[in-house]
Amino acid sequence: MNTDKKVAIVVVTYNRLKLLLQAIDALLKQTYTNADILIINNASTDETEETLKPYAQRGDILYFNTGENLGGAGGFNFGLRTAYEQGYDYYWMMDDDSIPTPTALAEMMKADEALKGQYSYLASYVFWKDGSPCKMNAPRIADDWINDAALAEKGVMRIQKSTFVGFFTKKDIVEKVGLPIKEFFIWSDDTNYCWRCNEVAPGYLVVDSKVEHRIVSNVNADIITDDTDRLARYVYAFRNRYYNYRMVGSAKNYKIYVFKKFMKILTKSKNQKWKRIRVMMKGVRAGKHFNPPIEYVTKREKVKS
């Protein structure tokens, strides 16, 4: 394995200090050592900044404060841009409650060599604390994965999308597709980014690159069942999803998706059914004209008409 490739490990954090310290500890134990840990603090209001000062002074991490809470999408936009501007060629992105096994990054670098760089992104295998696959981070296997079936012997499988927990990409891809859309704030920013990457080159799951996601419960977030005090955030979910469907020319399928959610809320939600529907429809209305720009790390030449 070529160890000359320098990796920026981009971790976005917000008010989750205890888990963040566990994540940093795991990252410092990676067997692939030609990497720097970039902590992107989304203006946490707990003691994150003070606690991380000794880590930064020792050189264990590189620390950046965004100055305001930009959400996960904005944090990864900030972090990926920062890593690019710092001169790194490879980027491994994750949340502050992501705990990689010691060889997780080394397995990414092995896959990079096996694929001879012919990919747009790689995804770690994300599991929950009981060892089962983490549902919210399950990748979508590509319909044409069989065309690359020989790679399965090397623990690599073609996928259509993954999440930003254990997401690995490289400089030339970021130059081509730009940065995550910060205006998404939360939800669907990683799906959007994967779809943009897929237009350049395939993405792959690296089965032996393993990351534990220490979320409270192993369930997908869903407006149908989520706690009522968390409903407001689903405006972002429905708005951003609408944008993604429009991006790939599937606005009709989005309407079918919303109708199915509407019916399931009516039949399966145990409380606040109309509040859930109002939140959903607020997101739908917002998504109809939501058209944020894609930021690029290099200047784009204007296409002559």
How confident is the model over 27-59, as pLDDT tens digits? 999 999 999 999 999 999 999 999 999 999 999
Q: Is pLDDT of 303 > 50?
A: no
pLDDT digits (tens, 9 = 90+) for 180-226: 999 999 999 999 999 999 999 999 999 999 999 999 999 999 999 99
Q: Which domains does the chain have, with CATH numbers?
A: 7-213 (3.90.550.10), 228-288 (no CATH)
Among 280, 270, 281, 284, smallest CA distance to 231 is for 280
- 240: tokens are 């951003």
**287 and 184 Cβ atoms separated by less than 8 Å:** no
pLDDT band per the 50, 70, 90 thresholds, residue 2: confident
Residues 6+ apart with CB under 8 A from 229: none
- Structure confidence at residue 154 as a pLDDT band (50, 70, 90): confident
Contact 114, 151 (CB under 8 A): yes
Alpha carbon distance 206, 123 (integer Å): 6
Give the number of residues written for the chain: 305
Instruction: Give me the pLDDT at residue 183, please.
Output: 98
Contacts of 198 (CB under 8 A, 6+ apart): 120, 160, 161
- Cα separation of 207 and 150, whole Å? 14
Q: Helix/strand/coil (H, E, C) string of 267-283? A: HHCCCCHHHHHHHHHHH
Tell me which H or E stretch contains 158: strand 156-161
- CB burial class (10 A; 0-12, 13-18, 19+) of residue 145? middle
pLDDT for 300: 60
106, pLDDT greater than 70: yes
Cβ contact 217:134 at 8 Å: no
Q: How does pLDDT run across 117-127, given as a tens digit for each residue?
A: 999 999 999 99
3-state SS class at 93 = strand
Q: Which two tokens stand for residue 105?
A: 């990054």
Q: What is the pTM of this model?
A: 0.95
Q: How far is CA 162 from CA 42, 63, 76, 203, 283, in A?
A: 22, 26, 15, 9, 23
